Amino acid sequence: MKNAFLPADILLPRNGDMTKWSVIACDQFSSERGYWERIKETVGAAPSTLKLIVPEAYLGEVDTARSAADIAAKMGEYLQAGLLKPYGNSFIYVERTISDGRVRRGLIGCLDLELYDYTPGAAAPVRASENTIVSRLPARVDVRRLAPLELPHIMALIDDSKCRVIEPLGKKTDALEKVYDFALMEGGGSIRGWRVTGDDIREVEEGLRCLGEKSAVQIIIGDGNHSLAAAKTYWDEIKSGFGEEERRTHPARFALVELNNVYDPAISFEAIHRVVFNTEPEALLMKLKKALPIAAGEGYQLRWSTAEGQGTIQVDAPGIGRLIELLQTFLDVYANGTGCEIDYIHGDDSVLSLTKEKGSIGFLLPAIDKSDFFKTVADGGVYPKKSFSIGHARDKRYYLECRAIK
């Protein structure tokens, strides 16, 4: 099987305050504006990836076309000022100390979008883990269409039980060039990175080839499914305008991601909960109980929380994916009929805090067992949207590395 994960021409800041440069993925803390206001205050006038994204907390009040143009202009400004230093034909080996002290190991490189397909049941070497909502792609494609750079918050997973691809690099860091080492803001832990070149690249590629021999799926996208789908959509949109050789090497054919081993002890699948705002919680709950198949005995526990109290519903479902699908289908129909708003929240505490307000109800879901993850997707299945998160909200990937896509 052809390797889908390749070294990249990676860009990093030459100097400056790396803590201010690096901010968390834009889809985090989407209902907690205070988080993003603190980041804006911390960053101030310093160069920062904050100025190259639109946090989802502000999506309802921004002109997406104008923000895409503003982002592209700021990227161009950073490039013209020589802010970014190139590391050609490289991987970057990453050690991220997350909020509980564990160290998550990863590898920054690029995915070949020609070997990726987000369609359910696809037979491609790189596949999505969750349903792709096509209506969410145009705004992301608009940004990519104008942007000279990409910044990844995508985390891609390999099924490497023998730890042959990423982990050996951890024993070689004394011989590798360290390219960053700093604390991440807002309780995100810390991160260190080393450049990987030469024979070390070849060893990584050989390990990936061995994985491809045992399974039809080499890589599954864990976080950032819609961002990668937007990159694929943009590439499919423009590639017919190039000749064969240019299609083979064009930078937009690839997307920068962090590769992780699903067996890494610091990789954990956290549930993504649902909170419904501007609703009548009792009426919603009553209709939900009628819509769900209630388990006579054991089932999956769906917890709910409102300003008035908390409770559980035992749901008869063959797996957690089906439980999420049942809940999501109900909520989508209910929101369409009543005009209430649904948000997707990481962390039990955040849900309980948000549902102290009247007119809101939260649903706390169980986490997916990662031992079933690769089998489900390899068998042609996908999880419903927003089924899981890799780690807690503060442990998500921070924007840091860049790559030119023009």
Q: What is the pLDDT of residues 313-350, one digit of tens each?
A: 999 988 888 899 999 999 999 999 999 999 999 889 99
Q: Where are the alpha helices (DSSP H) in 164-224?
A: 198-214
Q: Report the distance separating Cα 376 and Cα 368, nearest Å.
A: 11
Q: What is the model's pLDDT at position 124?
A: 92
Q: What is the pLDDT of residues 261-296, one digit of tens each?
A: 999 999 988 899 999 999 999 999 999 999 999 998
Task: Give the pLDDT band of residue 179 (cuts 50, 70, 90).
Answer: very high
**Based on the domain organization, do 220 and 111 belong to the same domain?**
yes
Residue type, 282: E
**Based on the domain organization, do 48 and 125 belong to the same domain?**
yes
Task: Give me the number of domains the chain comprises.
Answer: 2
Secondary structure percentages of the chain, helix, strand, coil, to 5 = 40, 30, 35
**What letter does residue 148 receive in the DSSP assignment?**
S
**Based on the domain organization, do 183 and 312 belong to the same domain?**
no
Q: What is the pLDDT of residues 70-100, one digit of tens each?
A: 999 999 999 999 999 999 999 999 999 999 9
CB within 8 Å of 163: residues ≥ 6 apart: 261, 263
In a domain, 378, yes or no: no
Q: Report the distance separating Cα 222 and Cα 329, nearest Å.
A: 22
Q: What is the model's pLDDT at position 372?
A: 77
Q: Report the distance separating Cα 10 and Cα 7, nearest Å.
A: 9
Q: What is the model's pLDDT at position 242?
A: 96
In a domain, 311, yes or no: yes
Q: What is the pLDDT of residues 111-170, one digit of tens each?
A: 999 999 998 888 899 999 988 888 889 888 999 999 999 998 999 999 999 999 999 999
CB within 8 Å of 206: residues ≥ 6 apart: none
In a domain, 194, yes or no: yes
Contacts 24+ apart (CB under 8 A), 60-65: 64/139, 64/142, 65/142
B/e letters for 75-102, b = 16+ CB within 10 Å, e = fewer, are: beebbeeebbeebeebbbbbbbbbeeeb
Residue type, 113: L
**Based on the domain organization, do 189 and 286 belong to the same domain?**
no
Q: Report the distance separating Cα 224 and Cα 28, nearest Å.
A: 11
Cβ-based burial of 204 (10 A; exposed 0-12, middle 13-18, buried ≥19)? buried
In a domain, 382, yes or no: no
Residue type, 368: I
Rounded to an integer, the average pLDDT of 184-210 is 96
Rounded to an integer, the average pLDDT of 39-47 is 97
Concatenated DSSP letters of 122-138 = --SSEEESB---GGGHH
In a domain, 380, yes or no: no
pTM > 0.75: yes or no: yes
35-49, 167-181, 295-309: lowest mean pLDDT where?
295-309
In a domain, 360, yes or no: yes
Q: Report the distance separating Cα 156 and Cα 377, nearest Å.
A: 13
Q: What residue numbers bound the domain in which 168 lies?
A: 5-268+395-404
**Based on the domain organization, do 164 and 308 belong to the same domain?**
no
35 or 391, which is more confident: 35
Q: What is the pLDDT of residues 211-265, one digit of tens each?
A: 877 677 899 999 999 999 999 999 999 999 999 999 999 999 999 999 999 999 9
Q: Report the distance separating Cα 27 and Cα 130, nearest Å.
A: 16
